[in-house]
Amino acid sequence: MKHSNGRRNFMATSVQSVGLAALGGMLWSGYTDSVKASPLVLRPPGALKEEDFLAACIKCGLCAEACVNRETNIDRDTGKPRPGTLQMAKGGDSLLIGTPFFVPTEVPCYMCEDIPCVPVCPSGALDMPSLINEKNELDINKASMGLAVVHKESCIAYWGIQCDACYRACPLLDVAITLEYQKNPRTGKHAFLLPVVHDDPCTGCGLCEQACVTEEPAIFVLPNDIAKGKTGDHYVKGWDSNDQKRVKDATSKETKTNLSKDDADDYLNSEVAY
């Protein structure tokens, strides 16, 4: 009898364990699907595209450790390390646990010349060859962590108030961010000095975002896939021969509507359709 009860208890415990394991697997699967769908995340320099990065990253934390232990991260007053740029996602973050990321308003990327976070990556999730320049040297200026975007309605420079905080904070001064001079038509006497971000040289370090003087930054870094549009295969730069290669396999598609039956002059000049 005791043997029978023990067997039943063993079977019940086994079934419970299998059920809990299955439930845990489903919850983890749901969690990973959820956080993978979170597009607003900035990864370290050299990070692969998000899907490939998540597949390659082994969540070892070596990049974050190298970041906080870098020589330039020592506080001159205390002699102790300051908080590192890279954080490792934990429970409660809308990111896959154990993956590195950074928040520019808290600690931006300081554009270390030796890029200590990248060479220590053992899995290739941080792609060192993508940061090698023509001299075969690591070059932080080749990083593309994201793109700074200016919200003109919030930027006080667009109000006519002189401010160049983001421009001065940019490590690629007058290259990644320039100031565009525009006359103020309202007063006729003053000028706007407007910050303009340039895509190619901007590394997405976030130093401009941290430096912004408004309560919430009027300039902020977004992941490249979010910040940039996509021209598609319908448009080609007529002056750029290399751009022709991008559309060599493109196919045309003709869309016809009732308006297509008329000549352009018929409806544009008559002002009937518009």
Q: What single string gives the DSSP state of each residue in 237-260?
A: -TT-TTHHHHTTT--------GGG
Separation of CA 250 from chain center: 29
Residue 143 has a pLDDT of: 97
As separate numbers, helices (DSSP H) first and strands (DSSP E) second, the chain gives: 8, 6
Q: Show the tokens assigned to 28.
A: 């983890």
pLDDT, position 1? 52
pLDDT for 144: 96
Indicate the residue type of 244: Q
pTM beyond 0.85, yes or no: no
Which helix H or strand E contains 33, and what residues bound it?
helix 2-36
Residue (of 83, 68, 66) closest to 122 by Cα position: 66
Domains of the chain: 31-143 (no CATH), 146-228 (3.30.70.20)
Per-residue pLDDT of the chain (274 residues; tens, 9 = 90+): 555 556 555 555 555 555 555 555 454 454 455 555 466 899 999 999 999 999 999 999 999 999 999 888 888 888 888 889 999 998 777 778 899 999 999 999 999 999 999 999 999 999 999 999 999 999 999 999 999 999 999 999 999 899 999 999 999 999 999 999 988 777 666 788 999 999 999 999 999 999 999 999 999 999 999 999 888 877 888 888 888 888 887 777 777 777 666 776 666 666 655 5
Query: Contact at 8 Å (CB) between 167 and 210?
Result: no
How many CA atoms, within 13 angstroms, populate the side-chain half-sphere of residue 137?
6
Give the three-class secondary structure for 108. Answer: coil
Q: HSE (CB half, 13 Å, CA atoms) of 20?
A: 6
Q: What does DSSP assign to residue 188?
A: S
User: Cα dihedral angle (193, 151, 173, 103), rounded to 10 degrees?
Assistant: 150
- DSSP E strands in the chain: the ranges are 87-88, 100-101, 147-150, 177-183, 191-197, 219-222
Q: How far is CA 212 from CA 82, 111, 165, 233, 256, in A?
A: 21, 18, 6, 37, 49
What is the structure's pLDDT at 180? 94
Per-residue b/e over 171-210, b at no fewer than 16 CB within 10 Å? beeeebbeeeeeeeeeeeeeebbbbebeeeebbbbbbbbb
Q: How far is CA 124 from CA 45, 84, 87, 103, in A?
A: 12, 21, 18, 22
Q: What is the pLDDT of residue 28?
A: 46
- The confidence score (pLDDT) of residue 40 equals 84
**CA distances from residue 138 to 6, 115, 183, 224 in whole angstroms, order as listed:** 64, 7, 42, 21
Q: According to the model, what pLDDT value does residue 74 have?
A: 82
